[in-house]
Chains A and B, each alone.
Chain A
Amino acid sequence: MDLKFIDRVIKTTLVLAAALFPFFAIYIKMNFALSVLFGAVWGALNLLGIKIIIISLLVPEKPNWVVGLIILFLKLPVLYFLGYLLATWSYMSIGGLLWGFSGILIVSVLKVLSRTYLGLDKKDTADSHPSPAENKA
């Protein structure tokens, strides 16, 4: 499970939110569909921000302070203020926003479960750390 996993989670969530948008708009309500979409986009941007901050600042080598601090100051005041505006906008459905925001968490849990079920991480570990018998060979 490498850092590309996070990008795949973000892409899957956005595609899922976009695919569900017409169904929610037709069968539930337009404001609910928009809330789910905006919630998912907000959650994806939040995860992207967390990822960039962590890979820029929390690294074993020299941290990239400029990128990390720019994203930190964009994420904390700007993204959170946008989230506050979305949550307080009367047209938006709070439940829809929560469903959209939770989408990224649901996708990541399902992806991790599927990786565990398929044994993909064991395969990665076996590839990167060969067994003593393989070392001797």
Chain B
Amino acid sequence: MTPETSIGFLLPLAVGVAAVGSGLGLGRAVGAAMEAMGRQPEAAGKIQTAMIIGAAFIEALTIYALVAVMLLKP
């Protein structure tokens, strides 16, 4: 197997791993936020703000992985 072929196999796999990690993280974050909102509905605004920032950061990780793959692809 040439290095180009192995990179061609591994790069999509790396994005997949990043996407799975982000999905798990986002799921945990949203789940915890919904639980917190259920306990304290009056604090929903503050919880949502923190959740939006967290979601943006988690999503950014996958986008960075995707861009890195686009830069590295043979």
Contacts and interface: CB of A to CB of B under 8 A. Distances in A.
Q: Do A and B come from one complex?
A: yes
Interface of A: 1-3, 5-6, 46-47, 50-51, 54-55, 58-60, 83, 87-88, 94, 97-98, 101-102, 104-105, 108, 112
30 contacts: A1-B46, A1-B49, A1-B50, A2-B45, A3-B52, A5-B49, A6-B53, A46-B56, A47-B56, A50-B55, A50-B56, A51-B52, A54-B51, A54-B52, A54-B55, A55-B48, A58-B34, A58-B37, A59-B37, A59-B44, A60-B41, A60-B44, A83-B63, A94-B70, A101-B63, A102-B60, A104-B56, A105-B56, A105-B60, A108-B53
A83 B70 CA distance: 12
Interface of B: 30, 33-34, 37-38, 41, 44-46, 48-53, 55-57, 59-60, 63-64, 67, 70-71
Secondary structure at chain B's binding surface: helix, strand, loop or mixed?
Answer: helix
A94 B38 CA distance: 42
Contacts of A6: 49, 52-53
A51 B33 CA distance: 14
A74 B51 CA distance: 20
